[in-house]
Amino acid sequence: MIRYAILGLLRERPDYGYHLKRRFDERVGALWHLNVGQVYQTLRVLERTGLVVGTSDGEHASRRFYTLTPKGEQALERWSSRPATRPQPIRDETLVRLLLAEPGRRDELLERLDAQERVYRRHLAALVAEKRSRGAAAATVSDIGIEAALLHTEAQLKWLGTCRTRLVELESTPPEAVG
């Protein structure tokens, strides 16, 4: 997805890697932590595949100025015009911990779920505060992103509650009934 964000930003105007990261951050805000290394790595891949052209800055030999190519414009247009074909997979750290949990350690798992819930509740409070500070009239991409993050965080909290319920149910299930 980073590649298409970069292609879209370059469609607006050619730019340097660090400036692209800054423009991305200005639009998306703190909802997506983009590492500047990801930007440069993606730019190198885009350049190798002919989607962008990088030219050296005359003043700063190490700084490259990137421009979208016609091939890059076509790739961006194809991507943006097609709908997503499937939902994003759930890749959650808590899920992996649950999958790796050893039988008989449910109390430890419940403590971890409590800790994870606290993290999500703090995150939810910060998102609510951010949304309030922006006011009701705002309608930027960043505001839409905050709403998505709120809904995602609420869903995570609900899922953690479901995990807790299932673990408690497993505790009360005789071992021979657990499959």
When pLDDT is averaged across residues 99-120 and rounded to a whole number, the result is 81
Sign of torsion over alpha carbons 83, 45, 72, 17? positive
**Secondary structure tally for the chain: helices H, strands E:** 7, 3
Q: What is this structure's pTM? A: 0.63
- Reported as a single tens digit per residue, the pLDDT across 133-166 is 877 665 677 778 888 888 988 998 998 898 888 8
DSSP 11-74: HH--EEHHHHHHHHHHHHGGGS---HHHHHHHHHHHHHTTSEEEEE-SS-TT-EEEEE-HHHHH
pLDDT bin (cut points 50, 70, 90) of residue 174 is: low
Domain residue limits, the chain = 2-81, 93-177
Q: Which residue has the higher pLDDT, 30 or 4?
A: 4
Cα(73)–Cα(76) distance, integer angstroms: 5
Q: Which CATH architecture has domain 2-81?
A: Orthogonal Bundle (1.10)
- Reported as a single tens digit per residue, the pLDDT across 38-93 is 999 999 999 999 999 998 877 766 788 999 999 999 999 999 888 877 666 666 77
Which range among 30-34, 76-80, 95-99 has the greatest average pLDDT? 76-80
When pLDDT is averaged across residues 87-109 and rounded to a whole number, the result is 72
Q: Which residues of 33-68 are buried (b: 16+ CB within 10 A; e: fewer)?
A: ebeeeebeebbeebbeeebbbbeeeeeeeeebbbeb
